[in-house]
C-alpha cells in the first residue's frame, strides 16, 4: 500500500464518519446504533488481532491502558452520538478538530510537554471559531443545537483526557492490542446504556441505518485504525495533522450535498478560524521561519 493511497483513504473515512453516525441512528436511536457499531467493531478487531497474530499483554500497565482507553471511548462516543442527533454532521467533524489543541494543552499541564506561542495562538483561534459556531447555534433558536455543541466539546475533552492518560501510563502495548483492549472495556458500557434505554431491538432496520452501522464498525473502527497507524509509521507526526485539517472539509461537503445541511457565513467563518488555528498550532513556528527566510533574500 502506498502512503498516498492510505492518506486518501483515512481522510475519506474520517470525513464520512459523522454523516454515517447520523444515518446509523435512522429510526433506531443512538443507544442501539452505537452499541451495534461497537459490538461489531470489537468482533472485527478480534479477527484482525487473530489473523495478525498480535500478542495481547495483560500486565498491570497494559490493563491500565485498556481501562483508560475504554473509558475514553465510552464517554467520547456516547456524547458524540448524542450530539449528532442535534447538530449537522459537518459540525461534528469540525468541532472534533479541536482535539489536537485540547490534547496538547492537557499534555502541557500533565506531562510538561512544550506549548509555545504558536500553540497558544492556534488554541485561541480554535476557541474563537468554537464561540462563533456556538453563537450561531444559539441564535438559530434551537436549544438542542446549543446542547449538541456543548456535548461535542465535552466529547473532545473526554477523548483528549483519555489520550493523554494513555500516554502517561506508557504501557508499551501495540496499537492493535490497545484498540482491542479498550473496546473490550467500553463495549459492556454501551450494552448497558442500550439496556437502560429499554434494550429493544428495532422492529425494522432501514438499509441506510444497517449499512451505516456496518460501515462504521468495519471502516471507521478497523480499516481506518490500521490506515492511521500505517501512516504514523511512514510519516512525521506533523504530516499526519493534515488529516485533521482535510477531514472536516470532506465532512462539511458531504453533509451539504448528501444531507442538505445548511451552511451560512458565520459557520464558515468559525470553520475557517478553527482550521487556521490548527495550522498555527502545528506549523506556526516553521511558517514564520520560512517567511523570515524569504524576506531576508
Task: Give the cell for residue 261.
Answer: 445541511
Note the pLDDT of residue 274.
78
pLDDT digit string (tens) for 135-184? Answer: 766 565 567 788 888 999 999 899 888 878 887 887 678 878 888 888 99
Q: Is the pLDDT of residue 75 over 90?
A: yes
Neighbouring residues of 177: CB distance < 8 A, sequence distance ≥ 6: 49, 54, 55, 56, 57, 62
The per-residue pLDDT for 139 is 60
Could you give the CA distance from residue 81 to residue 209 in angstroms, rounded to a whole number? 14
Rounded Cα distance, 38 and 45, in Å: 10
pLDDT at 232: 57
| Average pLDDT for the chain | 82
Decide if 72 contacts 161 (C-beta within 8 A).
Answer: yes
Give the pLDDT mean for 69-82.
93
CB 44 within 8 A of CB 115: no
State the cell numbers at 76. 467520547
Closest CA relative to residue 99, chosen from 221, 248, 254: 248
pLDDT at 16: 93
* Structural domain boundaries in the chain: 3-296
d(CA 107, CA 54): 29
Evaluate whether 93 touches 247 at the Cβ level (below 8 Å).
yes
- Overall average pLDDT of the 255-271 stretch: 80
Amino acid at each position: 500500500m502506498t502512503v498516498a493511497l492510505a492518506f486518501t483513504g483515512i481522510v475519506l473515512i474520517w470525513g464520512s464518519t459523522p454523516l454515517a453516525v447520523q444515518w446509523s441512528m435512522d429510526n433506531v436511536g443512538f443507544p442501539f446504533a452505537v452499541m451495534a457499531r461497537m459490538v461489531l467493531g470489537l468482533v472485527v478487531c478480534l479477527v484482525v488481532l487473530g489473523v495478525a497474530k498480535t500478542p495481547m499483554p495483560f500486565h498491570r500497565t497494559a490493563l491500565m491502558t485498556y481501562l483508560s482507553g475504554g473509558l475514553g471511548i465510552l464517554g467520547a462516543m456516547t456524547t458524540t452520538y448524542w450530539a449528532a442527533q442535534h447538530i449537522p454532521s459537518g459540525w461534528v467533524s469540525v468541532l472534533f478538530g479541536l482535539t489536537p489543541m485540547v490534547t496538547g494543552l492537557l499534555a502541557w499541564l500533565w506531562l510538561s510537554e512544550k506549548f509555545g506561542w504558536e500553540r497558544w495562538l492556534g488554541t485561541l483561534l480554535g476557541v474563537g471559531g468554537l464561540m462563533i459556531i456556538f453563537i450561531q447555534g444559539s441564535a438559530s433558536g434551537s436549544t438542542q443545537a446549543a446542547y449538541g455543541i456543548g456535548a461535542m466539546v465535552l466529547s473532545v475533552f473526554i477523548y483528549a483526557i483519555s489520550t493523554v492518560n494513555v500516554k502517561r501510563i506508557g504501557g508499551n502495548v501495540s496499537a492493535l492490542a490497545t484498540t482491542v483492549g479498550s473496546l473490550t472495556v467500553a463495549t459492556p458500557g454501551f450494552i448497558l446504556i442500550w439496556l437502560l434505554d429499554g434494550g429493544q431491538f428495532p422492529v425494522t432496520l432501514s438499509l441506510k441505518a444497517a449499512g451505516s452501522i456496518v460501515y462504521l464498525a468495519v471502516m471507521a473502527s478497523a480499516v481506518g485504525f490500521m490506515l492511521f497507524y500505517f501512516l504514523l509509521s511512514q510519516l512525521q507526526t506533523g504530516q499526519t495533522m493534515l488529516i485533521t485539517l482535510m477531514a472536516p472539509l470532506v465532512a462539511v461537503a458531504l453533509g451539504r450535498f448528501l444531507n442538505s445541511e445548511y451552511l451560512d457565513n458565520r459557520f464558515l467563518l468559525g470553520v475557517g478560524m478553527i482550521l487556521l488555528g490548527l495550522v498555527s498550532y502545528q506549523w506556526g513556528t516553521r511558517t514564520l521561519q520560512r517567511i523570515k527566510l524569504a524576506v531576508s533574500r
